[in-house]
Structure 1
Amino acid sequence: MKTINLTDLKNYNCALIEEYLEMHPAVLYEIIIPWEQHESPGTDHLSCMFQYINAAYAGQLLSLSSLSFGYNVPSPCQCTPFRFEIELPVANQLPQTLLTITEAYFTHEDAMVEFSVQAAQYYDDAFNGITHSNTWGLLLMADKMLPNIW
């Protein structure tokens, strides 16, 4: 299994991600999205909620082109990274997906806003039965945080 921490790809474009994947060929990948650190880990419920929603959407994007898919649901008290395991028939769809997620998390503020809007829509659609979700654990954790916000 090849581990890819998105932090390592933050200055890559799609061509560089493709080159990186060609240099490290694999069928099984572990994709790591770091937890965004705040001054008081685990106490900023709104930020935590959005981190779970964004991670759920990122995981959903990763799952769409994978043969098998798994993920962890980190504790908001520990601030450990989000981890996704995917098995791909071929890595050809992975570069664009990784670029979309990486740009949203690290490089473009406009991309993060757009990604967060899409993630919020995914959250709503999943709970309303419009979208089939592969990341219910992350969505439920985000939903658990709502009573602490309002």
Structure 2
Amino acid sequence: MDLDFPTIEECEPNVCTSGVLKYCWYVKNVLTVGNFVHIPGIITPDYDLQNHNFPGAGTYLFKRCFVCGPDCSQASCSDVVTMIVKEKPNAGDDKSVSCYMSGSATMNATGDGTWSLGINSNGTATITNPTSRNTAVTDFSVPGTYF
């Protein structure tokens, strides 16, 4: 999944005199109604957001709280970062072309991306609209496999 990271604005924690300063992390999908959900086990300022197990494409909010106490219910201040998770592209099923000189293949993909011929293709071909999810591939130069 591709993630777009804005800069996280740091929130200055209050002076911690009654315990050890730690961090609590929460996540929320902006399309769902409800509160942030605590991500257990993370007590440092760094969390690997790129490897978070997202349930799917969407916009997610991550909240990082500063805590000076035994649990996350005593957060003193927080900052929030917005993450946009994009749908993973899928080029669709393989296509067969009966006659390479006059045949064509209509490709149907999901997600965002750009069609191109792979470096291991047997020859050249024309991609009608490389930025469209659904496009035709024509003018195959030789018989073989195209990627």
TM bin (shorter chain): under 0.3
TM-score by length of 2: 0.26
Relative contact order higher in (CA < 8 Å, ≥ 6 apart)? 1
Bigger radius of gyration, 1 or 2?
2
TM-score by length of 1: 0.26
